[in-house]
Each structure stands twice: as C-alpha cells, then as structure tokens.
Chains A and B, each alone.
Chain A
Amino acid sequence: MSENAVNVTDENFADLTGQGVALVDFWAERCPPCHVQGPIVEKLAGEFSGRAVIGKLDVDSNPRVPTEFGLMYIPTLIVFKGGKEVERFTGLTPEDTLREILEGNLTLV
C-alpha cells in the first residue's frame, strides 16, 4: 500500500527527520486502527511531496526508535522539525488535524 509514504527504519530515521518538517506514523501489522490511519498518511504524503517528509515506521521491525521515544501506544504520529519533536498524536488522527500541523510548521520560519 505504501506508494508515497517513505518507509522509515531505525537506520534511516535520523537522516529522514534531521532537517525540515517530517511526520512519522508508528504502526504495526496486527494493529487494526493503524491500517485505517495508513491511507490518511498516504494521502498526505502525496499532498506534501517535496515539502515535508511523510513516512511510516513499522514498530515490529524497528524496535530502537520506538523505545527511544517511549512509545506505548499505536498508532502514534510524531511531527519533527529540524530533528526535534514538535507534536505528538496518540491514536487515530484525522487528516485535517495532521494537515494543519504540517502547514503550520512549514510556514513558520
């Protein structure tokens, strides 16, 4: 299903979120709400292509980053700006909410 959203891993996480604006969707195969969140993230990935990094991190295959961020709940979506966490959403999050946060962080100098 992943056409637009980047596959984020423990290895490439630092590079992908290190600069600019990034959104990472933490998910797992056997997490049903994560499958509902997925298409929303995919849609945003298409919309923000070239402006922000929008990716998904599979917590089963990539245990290091989730532990680093004290993750205890999925889906969780974290927005980064210049490598720093600026916003965290716990649970299924509507596309409008995510879009607003991304736009907001992109226009801020």
Chain B
Amino acid sequence: MDLDCDVAVLGAGPAGLTAGIYLARAGLKAVLLEKLAPGGQAATTDVIENYPGFQAPVGGFRLTENMRQQAQTFGADIRTGEALGIEEDPAGGGKRIRLKDETLRARAVVVATGAGYAKLGVPGEDRYWGKGISCCATCDGMFYRGKQVVVVGGGDTAVQEALFLTKFARKITLVHRRDRLRAAKPLQDRLRSHGDQVAFVWNTVVEEIEGSAHVEGVRLRDLDTGETSRMGCDGVFVFVGFTPNTAFLKGTLDLDARGYILTDETMATSHRGIWAAGDCRKRPFRQVVTACGEGAVAAHEVDRFLGDVVPEATDTDFGEIAGRGLSLVLAWKSSSEEAQQEASRVESIAPRFEGRATFCRLNLDAGKETAGRYGIHSCPTLLLLRDGKEIKRVEGVCSEGEIEAVLEEARSEGEG
C-alpha cells in the first residue's frame, strides 16, 4: 500500500474509531491503521458497566464492534498495519507515515495508539510469560485451579482480577509496593472478605520470577528493610498499570517522562498537523468514554485545520507554515477593509494550488517580529517566499487574476 488520504488515524480502539466516525461523516477520506484488531483494549474487557447509554452492562467486544461498524458505514477505511514513524512529506505539506514495507500519506494525523499492559521488567518475566505469568485472570484463571498464585499490583484491576481468581486458586497473595491499596474501597472489602484465601504483602516488589519448565516461585524484596525472600507459587498475575504505545514517536512529539503524548485541550500535540486522543496521551482519567470524547475533539480540530485553506500564522509557527517550498503570505490588519477583501480572493485561489504552494495570513499587529524581519510596512502586502526567502513582493490591492499570475510565474520559475 502506498496510499494517500486526508487523515491517517493511527489505532482503531475507541478513540481512533470515534475519530473515524466523525472524520468520515464530515466527508474526509480517513484511513485507520490498526496493528492488531479494531477495538483496542476495550475490546478485551469482559464487561463494561459504566459506559453512558448502556444501562445493562455491555461486553467490551460488542461495544467496540458497534463502533467499528459505525465507522465503516460512514466510510472510514480500516487497514491492518503498524506505523513506525511520522515524517513531514517533502512533496506537499502533509505527513508521511512509515510502515514496514509501505507508506501512507496524509494531510493530517490523529495518533490513537493507546496503551498496553505494563510489565514488571524483572528477570524471568520474558522467559516465563505464558508459562505461569499472565495478565488476564478471566482468560487463565482456570489453569490455576487449586494452585497458589501471586498477584502484583494495588489498583482496581489488580483487586478485581484477584477477586476473580478466588474462584479457582487455593491461595492468592497480593504483593504491592505501597502500604495500602489504591483500589476502590468496595473492591478492597470484597477481597478481604475471602479471609485466609487471600494474603497481602505490603511495601514489597517482585525482583525475579523463578522456575524450571514453568513458574515455581518469586523472589521478593521488602522496600523498607531491603531484605529479600522467596515465595513459592504456581503463577504470577501482573497488574501494574499501562505503558503508552508511543515509542515510535520519540523525537517527533513532546512526551512526558512515562511516554504519554503531551497535548492541549484541543488534542493538539507539539507538532503542527498531528493530534492525539485516548490512552496514548497524558490525561487525568482513562476510560472508554473519555477516549471516545477525545477522538471526536481531535476529529473536529482536524476538520477545521484542513478546511482552513489560508491559516493564520503567528511569529511562533511562521517557519513551519511558510518556511518550505513556495509560499504566499498575505500581510493584513483587522482594521483594513481592503486587506479583508484581498484575503477572500486569496482563499478562492488557494485550492487551485494545493500541493504546489502553501498559503497563510500574517496579522501585522500580532506577528510583529515576522513582519519586521521581512520589512513589511504596508497592508495589504503579498509576499512570495521560496523556502522562507522572499522572491517577490506586491504591495497594495491585487485582483484575483494578478495574484494567480504572480503564483504561476514563481511556480514555473521554480520548475525551470
């Protein structure tokens, strides 16, 4: 696939699917790139009780299947693939998404790659994954009937999964690095009500997972005393949080210390033309409903961005907008009626030069530094730039024909 689209949505979980619904419905060609299967982490959630609109608990898979079908009905194109990097498209002002053997070109990108279950990162974990280590009690609980298991974690998920395990395991030991659980009180109470079947080890971490063909025990370290000890067990269930799937964006977008994408409330990232939504971004509360909300906001912002044929440039982003290739800058002031009229003429011409020139407006009252740099004093002024360097300037009012002529001349000179 070497494909062109309006918007590339990376990830088809709830955030990506919602963005797909909104973008496709707005008439944009949206390609959703999914590494595994549509639905994301929500699809592997057994039951969701608190998704608004579903009074009776709904299966995670069913909920996300509905979203997928809705997105596809509106025309979103869901494809299998993994994004390895995002670059500027040298050809025409959009972005290039690098896959293993293919390239996807888009005018805008929404990153919705979500987060995966965090691992402990201790010796033995990779070796014994699937051979006594698990992160899904509903999936694997039955393999530990009558056996001893260790559950690592202290949040809602750890306690919920431990509760599920009480149906199978003979003994469950919950190992947590703090001295109290973070989980909701009702869940904690329910777990404690299982008496001797459940034991708690506080201020302790798992240092190593040991065994022969399968897991046989864990080495624990007490964080207070520094002492280590060994606990025999048949299985280890790991619920220590999530890691965002953003490794491929290091160096492209601003991320926080744990890898979550930093955005503002419009889901805009540090890079113009790229938005982020869902679990992959830094957010205060990770839920399916907030992921969907963010997907919709991102889609709305992208729609506005793409519809803005002559965007307003500021001193900060002038270089990004007008610094590459052929650019037409209209210098204007809000007080100038002539400049406003000139702006509408530029707006009608802009689509005819899509991919061959970029357009922007520079407000002389706001972008003083840029105006000063190019020595713009009158308004309206049309400034033609090639890679940020002035090649032509027209002061005063121009007709549509004159503006087009100037652009055509510059374009053919550039190609000749």
Question: Footprint of B on A, CB under 8 Å?
Answer: 28, 30-37, 39-40, 59-60, 70-76, 90-92, 94-96
Structural contact, A74 and B140, CB atoms closer than 8 A: yes
Closest residue to A72 on the B side, CB-wise?
Answer: B143
Contacts A70-B214, A73-B143 known; A36 to B39 CB distance under 8 Å?
Answer: yes
7 A–B contacts, CB within 8 A, in A order: A28-B142, A35-B43, A36-B36, A37-B37, A72-B143, A72-B214, A73-B139
Structural contact, A32 and B37, CB atoms closer than 8 A: no
Which one of B140, B213, B235 contacts A70 once the chains associate, using CB atoms below 8 Å?
B213
Contacts A72-B235, A73-B134 known; A36 to B139 CB distance under 8 Å?
Answer: no
The 3 tightest CB contacts between A and B, nearest first, are A90-B130, A73-B130, A31-B139
Q: What's the minimum C-beta distance from B364 to chain A, rounded to whole angstroms?
A: 53
Per the bound structure, the CA–CA distance linking A76 and B43 in Å amounts to: 18
Structural contact, A32 and B35, CB atoms closer than 8 A: no
Q: What's the minimum C-beta distance from A39 to chain B, rounded to whole angstroms?
A: 7
B287 contacts the other chain (Cβ, under 8 Å)?
no
Mark each residue of chain B from 122 to 150: 1 if its CB lies under 8 Å from any CB of chain A, else 0. 00000001111010101110110000000
Contacts A70-B213, A70-B214, A72-B130 known; A30 to B143 CB distance under 8 Å?
Answer: no
Structural contact, A32 and B139, CB atoms closer than 8 A: yes
Which one of A30, A32, A76, A94 has the greatest number of beta carbons of chain B within 10 Å? Answer: A32
Instruction: Please name all residues of chain A whose beta carbon is closer than 8 Å to the beta carbon of B60 when the two chains form the complex.
Output: 32
Structural contact, A92 and B36, CB atoms closer than 8 A: yes
Instruction: Please name all residues of chain B whose beta carbon is closer than 8 Å to the beta carbon of A73 when the two chains form the complex.
Output: 129-131, 134, 139-140, 143
Closest residue to A91 on the B side, CB-wise?
Answer: B130
Number of chain B residues whose Cβ lies closer than 8 Å to a Cβ of chain A: 27
Contacts A39-B37, A70-B213 known; A32 to B130 CB distance under 8 Å?
Answer: no
Instruction: Please name all residues of chain A whose beta carbon is closer than 8 Å to the beta carbon of B235 when the two chains form the complex.
Output: 72
Closest residue to A36 on the B side, CB-wise?
Answer: B37
Instruction: Please name all residues of chain B whose beta carbon is closer than 8 Å to the beta carbon of A70 when the two chains form the complex.
Output: 131, 213-214
Per the bound structure, the CA–CA distance linking A42 and B213 in Å amounts to: 32
Q: What's the minimum C-beta distance from B209 to chain A, rounded to whole angstroms?
A: 13
Contacts A36-B36, A76-B130 known; A30 to B138 CB distance under 8 Å?
Answer: yes
Q: What's the minimum C-beta distance from A8 to chain B, rounded to whole angstroms?
A: 18
Which one of A28, A39, A40, A96 contacts B139 once the chains associate, using CB atoms below 8 Å?
A28
Per the bound structure, the CA–CA distance linking A91 and B136 in Å amounts to: 10
Q: What's the minimum C-beta distance from A54 to chain B, rounded to whole angstroms?
A: 16
Instruction: Please name all residues of chain A whose beta carbon is closer than 8 Å to the beta carbon of B131 when the two chains form the complex.
Output: 70, 72-73
Structural contact, A31 and B138, CB atoms closer than 8 A: yes
B229 contacts the other chain (Cβ, under 8 Å)?
no
B80 contacts the other chain (Cβ, under 8 Å)?
yes
Per the bound structure, the CA–CA distance linking A76 and B129 in Å amounts to: 12
Contacts A31-B136, A90-B129 known; A36 to B35 CB distance under 8 Å?
Answer: no
Which one of A30, A36, A59, A72 contacts B134 once the chains associate, using CB atoms below 8 Å?
A72
Instruction: Please name all residues of chain B whose beta carbon is closer than 8 Å to the beta carbon of A33 when the two chains form the complex.
Output: 44, 136, 139
B22 contacts the other chain (Cβ, under 8 Å)?
no
B89 contacts the other chain (Cβ, under 8 Å)?
no
Instruction: Please name all residues of chain A whose beta carbon is closer than 8 Å to the beta carbon of B82 when the two chains form the complex.
Output: 94
Mark each residue of chain B from 59 to 73: 1 if its CB lies under 8 Å from any CB of chain A, else 0. 111000000000000
Per the bound structure, the CA–CA distance linking A39 and B143 in Å amounts to: 24
Q: What's the minimum C-beta distance from A41 to chain B, rounded to whole angstroms?
A: 11
Closest residue to B60 on the A side, CB-wise?
Answer: A32
Instruction: Please name all residues of chain B whose beta carbon is closer than 8 Å to the beta carbon of A60 when the two chains form the complex.
Output: 142
B46 contacts the other chain (Cβ, under 8 Å)?
yes
B45 contacts the other chain (Cβ, under 8 Å)?
yes
Instruction: Please name all residues of chain B whose beta carbon is closer than 8 Å to the beta carbon of A31 when the two chains form the complex.
Output: 136, 138-140
Per the bound structure, the CA–CA distance linking A95 and B140 in Å amounts to: 23
14 new A-B pairs (CB below 8 Å) besides A34-B139, A72-B140, A73-B130?
A28-B139, A31-B140, A32-B43, A32-B44, A35-B44, A36-B37, A36-B44, A39-B37, A59-B142, A72-B214, A73-B140, A75-B139, A91-B129, A94-B82
Which one of A35, A71, A95 has the greatest number of beta carbons of chain B within 10 Å? Answer: A35
Contacts A35-B43, A36-B43, A73-B143 known; A94 to B132 CB distance under 8 Å?
Answer: no
Q: What's the minimum C-beta distance from A109 to chain B, rounded to whole angstroms?
A: 26
Per the bound structure, the CA–CA distance linking A30 and B129 in Å amounts to: 20
Per the bound structure, the CA–CA distance linking A50 and B329 in Å amounts to: 62
Instruction: Please name all residues of chain B whose beta carbon is closer than 8 Å to the beta carbon of A71 when the two chains form the complex.
Output: 143
Structural contact, A94 and B36, CB atoms closer than 8 A: yes
Structural contact, A72 and B132, CB atoms closer than 8 A: yes
Q: What's the minimum C-beta distance from A64 to chain B, rounded to whole angstroms?
A: 14
Which one of B61, B213, B235 has the greatest number of beta carbons of chain A within 10 Å? Answer: B61
Which one of B35, B129, B136, B138 contacts A94 once the chains associate, using CB atoms below 8 Å?
B35
